[in-house]
Amino acid sequence: MNKKVWLGFVVVFVVLEVLDTIVNNFILVGVYQATASLWRPDMSSTMWIFPVVTLIESFFIALIFSKGYEGKGIAEGIRYGLYIGIMLSVGKAYATYAMIAIPYSLALQWFIYGVIEYIIAGIALALVFKEKPKTAA
């Protein structure tokens, strides 16, 4: 694996962690407080699982992007992020909705915010993989 895959992995991890923090600790905090009775009482003891999942996910997101990279710029990152976002967010949001009595609006928000997060991560990957212009010698 080349340096761009490793750099992409780190960039995607940082982007997803920052965006997850914004979404979950600021945007959706009121929904979580309103549905507190649905969540595990010891949830803080298992929160370490989220960054571990994001770490593994980030590696494979960068690796898969590198295998199909076509050099089409930001549009390629948006498209990839959209595909990955739908694939991963639909499962996370709606599988949780099927198992836990969360409001549908929360599942929908998880899906929408998740897709947006992955699109931003895809854009970041496109920027990491962007070919540097060759300088005339």
For the segment 54-69, the average pLDDT, to the nearest whole number, is: 96
One-letter amino acid of 16: L
Q: What is the average pLDDT score of the chain?
A: 94
pLDDT at 128: 96
pTM for the predicted model, two decimal places: 0.92
Residue 113: C-alpha distances to residues 26, 29, 45, 73, 130 (Å)? 13, 14, 25, 23, 26
Measured at the CA of 59, the angle between CA 90 and CA 130, to 5 degrees, comes to 100
The ranges assigned to domains in the chain are 3-18+54-129
Of 133, 124, 95, the residue nearest 17 (C-alpha): 124
pLDDT at 137: 58
Measured at the CA of 87, the angle between CA 83 and CA 88, to 5 degrees, comes to 120
Whether residue 40 is predicted with pLDDT greater than 90 in this model: the reply is: no
Assess contact for 85 and 123: CB atoms under 8 A: no
